[in-house]
Amino acid sequence: MSFRYGLRTFALELLMIAVALAFLFPVYALVTLSLKDPQQIAASPLSPPTSPTFGNFGDAWERASFGSALLNSTLITVTSVVLLIAVGSFAAYFIARRRTGLGYGMYVLFLLGIVLPFQLGMIPLFKLVDDAGLLGTYQGMVIFYTGIQLPFTIFLYTGFIRALPSEYADAALIDGAGHMRAFTQVVFPLLRPITGTVLILNAVFIWNDFFTPLLYLGGSAKETIPVRIFSFVGQYVSEYGLVFAGLVLAALPILAIFLVLQKYVIKGFSSGLKG
C-alpha cells in the first residue's frame, strides 16, 4: 500500500511543529541567556537578543580552561563507555543465557544497583578510592563510572540478548569455536543496535555528571566540564551568562553524537524490548 501525503497528514505536521516550538522555549531561553551580558540579563533576560554578544563563549572557554576540561571529559567518558560495553555485554550474555538459578540471581543483584540511593555508599567509596591512591586520577573516575553504570547497562543488554535466537552462537560452538570467539564474532556484532543505545545513554550521564568529579577530581588539572562550569555559580556573585554559554558548548558534542547514533538508538530500544 503506497502512502499519500494528504490534508490530514499536513495538519498533523503543523500540529507537531507547533508542539516542537513550544518544546523549544527553554532551549531558546538557554541560547538567549548565553548571548547576553550581565546588564542585558538583568534588564530583560528572555527577550530576543538585540545586540548579541558572543563574548560569553570566549570568556567561558578561557576561564573554565574549557580546552583541557573537554579533553578530561572526553577521556573519561570514552574510556568508561568502552569498558561498560565490553564488561557489561559479557556479563549480560552470561545472565541472559541462564534464565534460572545463578543467572537470575545475578540479574536481581545488578538490578539492586539501579534502586539503591547513591548516598549510602558515598563516604566508604571515597575512603576506598583514597586509600587506593586513585583520587585525582582518570583511572579512579573510570572505575567508578563503570561500577555504577553496570546495572543499567546490563539491564538493557540482557533484555536484548534474550530476544536473540541462540542458534547462531550454538552453530559456532558446534563448529569448534571457543565461547570467546562465539560471543565476539557471532553474538556481539548482532548487538550493534543496543550497543548504540548503551553508548549514548551512558555517555550522556557521565558527560553531565557533576558531583563525583567535584569530589574526586576537584582542584586537580583533570576536572571535567561540569565542574568548571559550576565554578561560575557563587552564592553572592554568579555569572549566569558564562554558565549558560558553557552549557551550550558542553551540549554540542553530545548532541552531535546523538545525531550520528540516532538510527542505532531507536533500533536498539526496539530490539531490546522482547522479553
Partner 1 sequence: MLPPWWFAVPALLVYAVVVLYPTGTGIVYAFTDWTGIGDWSFVGFDNFTKLWDDDAARGSVVNTLLLTIAIVVVQNGVGLLLALGVHTHIKSRALLRVIFFAPAVVSPVMVAFLWKYVYNPKPGEGLNGLLGAIGLGSWRQDWLGDPDLALWSVAFMVVWQFAGYSMVIFLAGLESVPDNLHEAAMIDGAGRWQRFRHVTWPLLAPAVTVNVMLSTIGGLKLFDQVYAATNGGPGYASETLSTVLYKQAFVFGNYGYSTAIALVLALFVSAISLVQVQILRGREVTAG
Partner 2 sequence: MTIDNLSRRGFLVLTGGAAAMAALTACGGSGSGDDSLRLVGVADQQKPLDELTKAYGKVKFNASYAPTDQVQTSVRTQLGAGNAPDIHVVFPGNGSAMSMAQIAKANLLADLSDQEWTKKIPDNFKPAFQSGGKTCFYSAGASVIGAIYNKKVFTDAGITAMPTTWPEFLAVCEKIKQSGKIPIALGAQTPWITQLITYALVPSTVYAKDPDFDKKMADGKASFATSGWADAFAMYLDLQKRGYFNDNPNGTTFEQQTSMVATGEAGMAIQVSAVLPDFRKAAKNADDLSMFPVPGGDTADSGWIPAGIVVGLGVSARSKKLDQAKAFIEFLGEQKNINAWAEAVACVPLVQDSSSKIDPALDSFLPFLKNDKAVPFMDQAWPNAEVQPAHFAAVQELLGGKTTIPEALKKLDDTYRKG
Closest CA to 246 of 115, 105, 70: 70
Binding residue for partner 1, selected from 115, 175, 219, 236, defined by CB under 8 A: 115
85 binds partner 2 (CB under 8 A): yes
Residues in 16-55 at the binding interface with partner 2, rule: CB under 8 A: 38-39, 41-43, 45
**Is 111 or 186 the residue whose CB approaches partner 2 more closely?**
186
Q: Which residues contact 57 (CB under 8 A, 6 or more apart)?
A: 34, 245, 248, 249
* Cell output for 192: 550493534
Distance CA 183, CA 162 (A): 14
Measured between alpha carbons, how far apart are the two ends of the chain, in Å?
Answer: 31
Find the shortest distance in angstroms from Cβ 158 to partner 1.
11
User: Site mask, partner 2, residues 215-234, x = CB under 8 A?
Assistant: x--xxxxxx---x--xxxxx
Q: Cβ closer to partner 1: 75 or 125?
A: 125
Q: Which of 11, 16, 46, 86 binds partner 2 (CB under 8 A)?
A: 86
- Supply 267's cell numbers: 533500533
* Residue 33: contacted member of partner 2, partner 1, none (CB under 5 to 8 Å, by partner type): partner 1
d(CA 226, CA 249): 11
Neighbours of 163 (CB within 10 A): 13
Could you say which of partner 2, partner 1, none residue 42 binds, taking C-beta under 5 to 8 angstroms by partner kind?
partner 2
| Nearest by Cα to 246 from 21, 53, 116, 60 | 60
Q: Which does 167 bind (CB under 5 to 8 A by kind): partner 2, partner 1, none?
A: none
Give the one residue of 61, 94, 126, 258 binding partner 2; rule: CB under 8 A. Answer: 126
* Residues 47-86, mask of contacts with partner 1 (x by CB under 8 A): ----------------------------------------
Q: What is the dihedral of CA 74, 26, 234, 42, to 10 degrees?
A: 140
CA-atom Rg of the chain in angstroms: 23
**Per-residue x/- mask for partner 2, residues 165 to 184, rule CB under 8 A?**
----------------x-xx
User: Which of 63, 60, 82, 80 is CA-nearest to residue 252?
Assistant: 60
For the chain, give the longest Cα–Cα distance. 74
> Which does residue 227 bind out of partner 1, partner 2, none, counting CB within 5 to 8 angstroms by kind?
partner 2
Q: Are 56 and 241 in contact (CB under 8 A)?
A: yes
What is the binding site for partner 2 (CB under 8 A)? 38-39, 41-43, 45, 75, 78-79, 82-83, 85-87, 122-124, 126-127, 130, 133-140, 142, 181, 183-186, 188-189, 210-211, 214-215, 218-223, 227, 230-238, 240
